[in-house]
Structure formats: structure tokens, C-alpha cells
Structure 1
Amino acid sequence: MLKDLFRKQKKYATIPSEQAKKDIPEGIMQKCPQCGDIGFVKELEKNLKVCKKCGYHFSMSAPERIRMIVDEGRFFEFDSGLTSGDPLSFPNYAKKLEADREKTKLNEAVVTGEGTVGGFPAVIGVMDSRFRMGSMGSVVGEKIARAAHRAATKKYPFILFSASGGARMQEGVLSLMQMAKTSAALEKMHRERVLFVSVLTNPTTGGVSASFSSLGDINIAEPQALIGFAGRRVIEQTVRQKLPEDFQTAEFLLKHGQLDQVVHRSELRETLIKILDLHSGRVNDGNR
């Protein structure tokens, strides 16, 4: 013990590297990609995954979105057992699907079902960008089309949250066919005069933005959501012009008439309840 007391102290200190300073413990802290603010994940979740400093809307998983919008315990899932095949024998596609199923605990990139929002019954679909970047393959298109048919039959409004990188290239033309199939299903809803509310979140691009996500009777988006078909660089090279800085943002599309409203996430549930109330033809029972 005496020897330890008189032991020479080191004359140097370890300084963490710049990379170590940037590293954030996984699952504990979250860095905002827009303003760089670092906060606790639990605090971010309490704030509906919106940065308190700059208002950036982080992506939400399908289960998180359903918990946020649907009345507690009032959601019944459709077609949960549908899974994608590998029609083109695309290299490693089956393995990637299995990895995403394991990671997300979902069978596909969209969850559809029936529930109530503020006491109003609705058919609900939520895309999940964690699964193959929310890409639209044959199963995604089939689930959305089936949900639309159920909404038309039951005369329930259909609320669909989009979050997608577009059509799924690993399924080739079968994924592109989903654009027509989902659009035809929504046309049936239109003929039956059933309300379709499309909620576009960050990002909604490619064949999804070019089909069902833009066909809502009411089109809503979250703030600063990226919405468009082709990428900025491709468009600039094609038209040979510099595009505005806010091009393909929700605010840009609202200004140019493609959206009806941009709604902050904290106000989204109440906004949807008001829309359902206006189209219900009955008095709201106050169950919110």
C-alpha cells in the first residue's frame, strides 16, 4: 500500500480522437442530421421523434406510427402472413429479405389493418422505410390494393402513410405493375365515394410518389419531407437548369399545389380526426 502511495504519476493524459468524440453510444443518444444536436433517444421518442431544437422529423417505424395515430388497442392487422418471393432469382435478394424480417420483425415494407382514430373507423396503411428502404414490391402493392378494396366494401376512409424509395428493382416489372394495380384499387374507392387520405412522409419517392401516394382526395405531408420522382441531379442534368434549394420538399409542393396541407407531427392525429369528422356524417363521440 505504501508503495502505491508514492508511485510516480503519469505526466501525460489520453486525449480522445476526433472520431471517438463523434461516436455516439448506440441506442442511448441520437444526433439530429439537420442541426447536429445530440439528445437522449427516450426524450426524442417522447417528443414523437421530432428534434426539439430545429423541428427535424425523424423517420418512424410502422408500429410507432400506428401507436401515435390509432386509438389504443383499436388496430387489427390485415394480411400479415404475406411474404415476397424471388421471381427473378436476384442475387442475395432472399437473404436480404430474411435479414430485414429479422431486423424489423415485419414480413414486408407495409403494415395494413383496420382501427379507429378518435373513435372514427378507418382502414390504415403504414409503410416502413427500414424494410428494403420501404420499396414497393409485389406484396406491398397487393397489401395496399387489398386494403383499398376493403375500405371500398366497408365504406371506411383509407389513411395511408407513405415512406418509400420507390419500386423494388429486385422484382423487375412485377414491382412496376403495382403502380397500376394500386391506382386501379383507389379508383374503385373513388367510384364508391370513399375518402382516401394520403400522408406523405420523408422520403416518398419514385414509383410510389408517381402512383398511390399522390392520388389522395386529401394529400398531407410532414414538414420538410422529401417528395418526388427522380433525383435532383438527374433532373438538373436533364433540364440543364439549377433547381431551387427547397425543390422536392413538402413546402415546395404545397406552394405549387400538389399538397393540400403540411402538418407538424404533433398536430397530425388531431388533423386526421377533424378530416374524418367532417366526412363522417355523424357527430363525434369524443373518444380521442
Structure 2
Amino acid sequence: MESVIQNQIHSFRESRKNRGRLLINCPDQPGIVATVSKFLYDNDANIIESNQYTTNPEGGNFFMRVEFECPDILSKKEMLQNQFQAIADTFSMDWKLTFVYDMKRTAIFVSKELHCLRELLWEWQNGDLLTDIALVVSNHEDSRAIVEALDIPFYYIPASKENRAQVEEKQLELLKEYNIDLIILARYMQILTPSFVEAHPFQIINIHHSFLPAFIGARPYDRAYQRGVKLIGATSHYVTNDLDEGPIIEQDVLRVDHRSQIEDLKKSGRTIERSVLARAVKWHLEDRVIVHENKTIVF
């Protein structure tokens, strides 16, 4: 199984070894697209995909994502970054230049409910979630067998309010050791401390089993049942120090009715949760998400 997955990863990286992505956020003004296009043209780059959005044509913010092919891009990394910095200074840009060959390394955190973890692993095995899953961390043993069957390192670290500081110290050590780019909370039912979150700004994606901002916090399906909702949903968002209030990446809903009991809501909700989380993770891995204030622009 490992060789099949490794072959998929190798094939993906080789086919995109000259592929780059440029994300831009700056005050809107004339000349941005022309200048970026000229920069790419001057470096023999061919634009594969380009998306842009302006919050307000008069004094708003401008956002852009460009994916391009550039011959021998890996040998030009430093040169391209230095050249573009001059453009960024001119237009007061927040920007990021990524190279597709440098595949992002992810860590998955999970507790006892495994449906979101299973979905991510299925997508990964199928070659539809293009990342290097470096490790899985859990405060329960339930997922060990399915993780280790795929030759992914599994770390069981019991967690509670009483030992949270020690647990996060160990987790942070692992994230540094494995050089992790993205942390996925696949129904990890522990609240992260501010110091943990601040160490990975907009690098932690959570799935909340509610259509936020409704039913923030614990036991949302129970509260949805008591409220008699006709729609249930799930929300994937970046984690901040405000519980379940980070920038939203993706959401979805499913219709229910008066016959639906709490367990029915939970069963239906699991289907939404796993697909919403998988989409959000894919978009992050593909550099399609730009965070602006407490919102996201998803190209």
C-alpha cells in the first residue's frame, strides 16, 4: 500500500515540478494584474489558472491567485522571490509564492469518532488528497490499527484539562520534528491553548459539527434537536483563540424533519462533516484560501 501511495506522490510531484502558485492580498489599485503578468512573462512563465477578486472597486482590497508553469523553477526559487519582493513593496502586498513540488506535510489529530479520519485517509489513498501525511496524533487508541496499517506513525497521547500543558508540549515537539505545514483536527475533541494556536497561525483546520455560527461549542446535535431545526450542517474553519469562530473555509447542510431523533441527526451529520473537512483541506493544500480579517477568499 505504501509503495502505491508513494508512487502517486512521486508521479504528482514530477508532473508539476515546474509549477508555482502566487497568492496576493493588497489595497486595490490599477496595474496590479499587468505587473504580475509581466513578472511571469519576463521569467518565461505560462499562466495555467488565474483568479482575482476586489471587495470594492473604490478603495477596497484586491486578492489574486495565479498558478503557472516556469521552466527550471526549483533552481530559480530565490531569484523569483527576490524579484517579486520589489513588486510587493510597490503595491503594499501580503503575498506568498509556493512551489507545488514541495508537497505540504500534514498531521491529523483525532479522538474517538473516526469518520473524518477515514475520509481523509481514503482520499489520500486514492490520490485525491495530495499531501504527505506525516503522523496521526490521538488521545484515544481507537484509530491506531487503521493508521498503522497504512504505515503512518501513530502517537497516543492521553489528554485532559489536568495535563494539557504537558500534552501540548509533546505535540509541539512532534510537529517540529516532522516539519509539519498543516494540522487537521478530524474530530479532535480537545480545546487547544492560545500558545499552541499562536504557534501555527492559520495552519490548523477544524471540523465543527454545526452550521456555524449556530450551536457553537459542545453537543451541537443535542441542542439542534431541542431547537427543532430543519437543517443540520457542518463547518470547516481555521482555528483561532475564539472557540469555533475562526475564518470559515467551507460549509454544507442537509435537510431533516420532525421525525429525526438525536442519533439520526448525528448519523446524517457525519456524512456532511467528512466531505466538508476534506474539501477545506484540499483547498488549503492547493493554496486556494486567502485569509482576510475573519473571513476567507476561496479561489
Structure number with the higher strand fraction is: 2
Which gives a bigger RCO, structure 1 or 2 (Cα 8 Å, sep 6+)?
A: 2
Superposition TM-score, scaled by structure 2 size: 0.29
Superposition TM-score, scaled by structure 1 size: 0.30
Give the number of the structure whose alpha-carbon radius of gyration is greater.
1
